[in-house]
Chain A
């Protein structure tokens, strides 16, 4: 059963330059909430940012990790920080 610290270390090891603040919000080792800050997110949509994190854990999400709630952000000093997610395209 992973700890919040394990989750944090795996995210930081997998995404270069990332900082991950992870909380085990039920105290049961299976529901986590993570805020991940990484320059690698710049220029990517929120969907893509979340996928980068989910991909680290593969089938563990929905398995031993029942929930991994994510908030992703780009560091303030990186160009593109604060840029809104591209508007979803609307098909007519």
Chain B
């Protein structure tokens, strides 16, 4: 799909061991990952946090959500949450949503795979993406 915008890279230090997720920073301390996620959500009209990439989804739920967006020919930014466990941790803290994928439209959580697919089938997704 040519209209998929390139995947968004969250700026975070390279080489972080994937297995050691530190505890979330106490309130008031700078939290670069959380800030980067919030900025990405604010900067993209449609942004999908997923496992893997649109070209190579690493989970069936992410794959189905990508397929719905591509079916509607919607340009969207995508963030792979797998490279660093802190991305998922901070994302879920921001969104109050425990699972992946998560689709944000105009800065608001629209839903995970189940809701996106339900809305796709009912036509509501196309309306929400206008």
Binding site for B on A (CB under 8 A): 46-47, 50-51, 54, 61-62, 67-71, 84-85, 87-91
Which 7 pairs from chain A and chain B are nearest by CB?
A61-B98, A88-B128, A91-B106, A46-B115, A54-B98, A70-B114, A69-B114
Within 8 A of A (CB), among B104-127: 105-115, 118, 124, 127
Q: Is the CB of B108 within 8 A of A69?
A: no
Q: Is the CB of B107 within 8 A of A47?
A: no
CB distance from B83 to the nearest CB of A (A): 17
Q: Is the CB of A46 within 8 A of B118?
A: yes
Measured between beta carbons, the chain A residues less than 8 angstroms from B110 are 47, 88
Known: A88-B105, A89-B108, A91-B106. A62 touches B98 (CB 8 A): yes
CB distance from B109 to the nearest CB of A (A): 6
Q: Is the CB of B106 within 8 A of A90?
A: yes
Q: Would you list 23 pairs from A and B whose C-beta atoms are within 8 A, ordered by A residue?
A: A47-B97, A47-B109, A47-B110, A50-B111, A50-B114, A51-B96, A54-B97, A54-B98, A54-B99, A61-B99, A62-B98, A67-B61, A69-B61, A69-B113, A69-B114, A70-B114, A71-B118, A85-B124, A88-B108, A88-B110, A90-B106, A90-B130, A91-B106
Most buried by B among A47, A62, A87: A47
Task: Report the Cα distance A71→B32, complex, angstroms.
Answer: 35
Task: Report the Cα distance A61→B127, complex, angstroms.
Answer: 30
Q: Is the CB of A62 within 8 A of B99?
A: yes
CB distance from B110 to the nearest CB of A (A): 7
Task: Report the Cα distance A54→B99, complex, angstroms.
Answer: 9
Q: Is the CB of A71 within 8 A of B99?
A: no
Task: Report the Cα distance A15→B111, complex, angstroms.
Answer: 21
Within 8 A of A (CB), among B70-121: 88, 96-99, 105-115, 118
Q: Is the CB of A71 within 8 A of B61?
A: no
Task: Report the Cα distance A90→B98, complex, angstroms.
Answer: 24
Task: Report the Cα distance A87→B113, complex, angstroms.
Answer: 18
Measured between beta carbons, the chain A residues less than 8 angstroms from B128 are 87-88
Q: Is the CB of B111 within 8 A of A46?
A: yes
